[in-house]
Amino acid sequence: MASSTTRGAAALNAFPSKPRVFILTDITNEPDDAESFCRYLTYSNQFCTEGVVAVTSTWLKNKVAPQNLHEIVNAYEKVVDNLNAHAPTDSPYPSAHSVRDLIKSGPPVYGMEAVGDDIPLSEGGELLLERLTAPGEDPLWVLVWGGVNVLAQVLNKIRHRPDAAKLRQKLRVYTISDQDDCGGWIRQQYPEIFYICSIHGWNQYQAAAWTGISAPCSGDVGGPDDSKVTHEWVKENVQIGPLGAAYPDFEFIIEGDTPTFLYLIQNGLGVPEEPLYGSWGGRYIPVNVSSKGLSSRGHFADAIDTVTGVDGKPHRSNQATIWRWRNAFQDDFAARMQWTLTSDFSKVNHHPVAVVNGDSNLTPIHIEADAGGVVTFDASESYDPDGDRLSFKWYQYREPSSLQTYHGLEVSDIEIKALNDVGSKVEVKIAPAEKSCIVVREKIPLERGLPLHLILEVTDSGSPALTSYRRVIIQPIDRDFASRK
């Protein structure tokens, strides 16, 4: 481990931008929506929250419950000043008053019953329309924890506008499976909309990637570490202080809706516009990859990762794209709940800042490298605001390089060699051109091979331990391509 010097709040990593977020939640259907909203508020300084709308779903067909959202915001109001003591100065947490103003109701009817030319928009629909048509080009992320009829209402409302297609291009939807009959309608009517959604039989949620957040994964027995998704762990680490008192006991799984915003967390791992890359919120690939059929930037569904489990064995599943990060994202939440208890920066843990080759940004580092060549990466300038010791873990994330199911057949290996005792500096060797710059099955040489994803995890020695990431995307180049064609 490398030691670090205490630097304080001024050394926290800033967020380059804040995704615009609009939440649809069937809160009171079961406790997990309330749990996810509590958690969301502890991350809300990373986002520009533009709406929180109570909606129906297949489990809550005839009513909506905005009052439950207000109760949680009342608890948040008691801790927001403490949270701000642990936030970058340019990214404060929103006031409770501002969040309250964003809480609206969707139509208290199921699914498509709310959609029609003669049906007025709900107040939630009016707010979504206002946000979608606001000036600016920034995407609007609609995070759906229940039914999606509020979005369907708005899409139906704008369909004859001359700028309708441009407005739809601004939408980014991440929905926790389909929970009413509007999701399929939206994807059928507007297949070009960026839409992350697990696909499976109706209500067969155990088949969805998002259950990897906390559910027992029947196909991955022995893989996920379940120690941080128990009632005991939640009671000790989450249900503490005023906000923790608003976090209910779970009935089925913990926070089934949380992957929607974990996908957007700015920690150096995920790239929201690239679902294929993977993040705390999972990894998703286009349902269609044709250049002449449906848009390949429309519907994204579950991908599969191969992950070594706590049993030391490899596990392959869609849920693994989320549970592989479980220890890190649960510790991350536990640390934030500690923030809610105190404004004393010195008493709680904060995230390390990962610096690679002098770059401390959160976006991926893109480089080109000769096939068969060697590249050096140096993270020794990484630091911890609290002065904690740092550990470094570098590894290849193979799956984002390819749409294939068995990535070992197509994605070339990279060799990683530590150049110092703490592992902050490494040498990465790219495979020769016959392995890194080739269409494997047809043996066709390529000038530019598949991009290779190198992940760095920087973890501090605080309690709970916190992890920050950097992603390096290496583009292998065959300099002798002309002679090999």
Looking only at the bridges linking them, the beta strands covering 374-378 and 390-396 are unpaired
Contact 51, 22 (CB under 8 A): yes
Contact 281, 261 (CB under 8 A): yes
Contact 73, 67 (CB under 8 A): no
- pLDDT tens-digit series, residues 30-73: 899 999 999 999 999 999 999 999 999 999 999 999 999 999 99
For residue 373, give the H/E element and its range.
Answer: none
User: What are the C-alpha distances in Å from 252 to residues 31, 157, 229, 431?
Assistant: 9, 36, 11, 46
pLDDT value at position 264? 98
Instruction: Quote the mean pLDDT of the chain.
Output: 94
* CATH class, range 9-326: alpha beta
Angular region, 144: left φ>0, alpha ψ -120 to 50, beta rest: beta
Q: With 0-12 CB in 10 A as exposed, 13-18 as middle and 19+ as buried, what is 162?
A: exposed
One-letter identity of residue 125: G
Return the bridge partners of 470, or none.
456
Q: CATH number of the domain at 349-484, please?
A: 2.60.40.10
Query: Angle CA(363)–CA(295)–CA(208) in degrees, nearest 5?
Result: 70
- pLDDT tens-digit series, residues 427-459: 999 999 999 999 988 889 999 999 999 999 999
What percentage of the chain has pLDDT greater than the value 70? 97
Q: Following DSSP, what letter does each residue of 108-176 receive, concatenated?
A: SS-GGGG-STTSPPPHHHHHHHHHHTSSS---EEEEESS--HHHHHHHHHHTTSTTHHHHHHTEEEEES
Per-residue confidence at 481, pLDDT binned at 50, 70, 90?
confident
pLDDT value at position 407? 76
pLDDT value at position 434? 94
Quote the DSSP letter at residue 423.
Answer: S
The residue ranges of every structural domain in the chain are 9-326, 349-484
Domains 9-326 and 349-484 share a fold: no
At residue 333, the 3 state secondary structure works out as helix
